[in-house]
Structure 1
Amino acid sequence: MPIPFGRATVVRITGKSDLSRTIAYIARAAIRAVKRRKIYNYTHLKGDLVHHEVLLPPGAPDDLRSCNVFANSLDFAELRKMRTPPTQRERQVQVAVTVVIALPPASEVALHEAAEILRRIVITARGPQDLPIHLAIHRKIINLHGHATYALRPIHPDGSWGLKVRDKFIHLRKSQYQPNKAHVAEDFSWHELSRDIHQAYFVERGIDLVVDPAAPCPGTHIRPFEYANGEFHNEVSQQQIEQQRQELHAANLAIIHGSPTKLVETLLKGRASVQIGELRRLCARFIDNEAQQEAEVDRILSDQNIVSLAESADGQEAGHATTRRTMRLLTRAIGLVENATTEVRAITGPDHEAVLAQIVEWAEIEQDMFKPPLIIGLALSDCDSSKEALAALEPLTGTIDMAVTARAGERK
């Protein structure tokens, strides 16, 4: 069962490591770091490498498809600008971002299908920038996962690297626990992107699968050095994790057996509906007896505050579910748009920044007609970045609930 997991980390140039070492490990290859006069050899691990490629933007030199050239070229682009040796720098140079993405096991999709899912995820995340991406897929028993390493500089047709793209996927923040070490604050929801693209691919190909939903009361992912090859390598961690799993299992069972409305709203995570297959999968994870699983799903769907939805009205079996409250909010929101007294204009773009730029341009063209924009998010904090980008237009912010539940005279 595919899980929506993605974790991003920054690749830095330090006294002992660089991008050449990272790519050599991910590609299970031997790479000679020309600038450092070192050879990183991880060919002894190549047994789990099942796919490898470099995605290049149009017009990029073909020699970058070699992982050796890809890594050395990027390392050199950073090292040639460094005046202070890496061992003496307080802030280490960032050269790339690498992301680990969970993929469906071989029992559910073929390797070429898993590779296509990985490509769609990483290309969508890249957006309009001409950033080369190194891809590799590893298979360990049933664990199939992909590694995507993004160059932080766009590549030009002549082979030169452009200016560094900053804060593309993650932001570095000072850690309150380790003041001398920055921690990664992700500015991109790999979880949601992976879930949406997996599910869209399954529907497109007619594959009867759903993405494994996150538990209502989720746990934490285990660090690789504590859990490897299917075994724990730290006895204290093993005991703590076993106790945590028991507590989480009990907490999730209580939520599943509790209020259907609370359960479905927890699973929605900002979406309009959940697939009924997700409810079945969730119950199967925490309830052993199949009859009890089906009985619990039936109880949830038959609740008076849960609405089942079908793709069409021709008697097709319901495939999605939502809460009556969410359905009411959606109906009101649709009514507000359909009954709007002013022009409604749809603006699209390859990414969020492109859409905001078009809004600013539109405001400059129609200054007399343009009113302060209203930015709506699931929570007020969701509006912060857009509010900052559109500050010159004096935007208003609000939540979906605030927008569709306000009295008619209060709506702007």
Structure 2
Amino acid sequence: MTGLIEENRYVRGVITDIGEKFFSKVVIDAGGVNSVVGRKAGLIPKRKGTNMILYTTLGVELGEDVINERFGDCIEYYLAPGTQYKTWPWIFPKRDIVTVGTGGYMDKNLITDKFPTVNKYMENFLNLPIVKKKLEGGKIISWGLHLEFDEEIENRVKNGLILTGEAGGFVIPFLGEGMVEAFFTGIYAVLAAAEAINAGDFSEGKLSGKYRELIDENFFMQTFHHIAAVNKEAIPGKSDEEITKMMQSVILGGGFISNAIHTKWVKGAEEAQAYSLFTVRTREAGMADMNEVMKVLEEQRGKYSDKRVARHFKGWNKTLQYYFTDIDEYFVIELICGEPQPVEKKKLENSDIMYSMDTDTFLKLNRGEISGFKAYQQKKLKIKAAMAEIMKLKKLDKV
């Protein structure tokens, strides 16, 4: 796209690079971070400085069978010295190729004597033994540079126009977040446009009202807004070593998203260090003997039932209930006023059970061998209907 068609302050269509004109009652733009439509419409401002992240990317051809064997359906992120600058490298498997990328925030320290170009970060990443093994036998078929903007834009809607995905600023480069946000915002833009068309009203107010309503109803997107708001201040001011240590702590602590929801991003990372100690014994014990697991939980909860752990749990549901189908056991954690309480087992009504699964699935989830959504899709994990509705799992499943 090279231009917009506007009439009476309304966007009516787009113009292509060969002069073709396409007209529409509502234009939905998914043009990415450098969206021409968004810039021509005046919604995307001029971008510069430390708000930008520069990535170098490679396409490596491995073949579908090799990719399935080495990566399965996993997107992989890495942390290692000299392979990134205030972000983290990734490998995204596709059908026959994998996309490899790394880079960093565009401040004065991205390019130095030690790292004269962003390609040096990529070179170091490709030389990691684990990455060499993953890409062994592959052929580099493409190379490129990619820019991302780490800041929400002020307005994503104009008369006759809705921006989605990266074009609308729905991305958190540091956390590798953006794909799910693109799915959701694309769906919501269509729903908002459909309502506007039925009403014959394509104004910014009409489009924005429905679009914002759908986004705000989505628990995942609410989380996105919260993390995006604090991410900009949290990350660029820290050294690469601090960020690496922080991310390792978060991973050990059970996941950065849950921490970020309740304690803000950086605070969540700090609290995760305490929480990782709280959970490590449980992870080691596994689920082979529920009595042993309960014993470990009692011991660890008593040892770490101070303000650190209390802050981690603050804001969570007061009771977390798990039912393990293969051993007919209930696992209940009572959290009253945010303070950890002794763990107890008790019989629950089926309607009260939040999560239901067998112990093998629980272990795989705990070890990161399967994602929660994948387990849900495969019907290995059942989630209470009210919770599933909050998480918008049915809509995500359709995507």
The TM-score, its normalising length taken from structure 1, stands at 0.27
The TM-score, its normalising length taken from structure 2, stands at 0.28
State which structure, 1 or 2, has the greater radius of gyration over its C-alpha atoms.
1
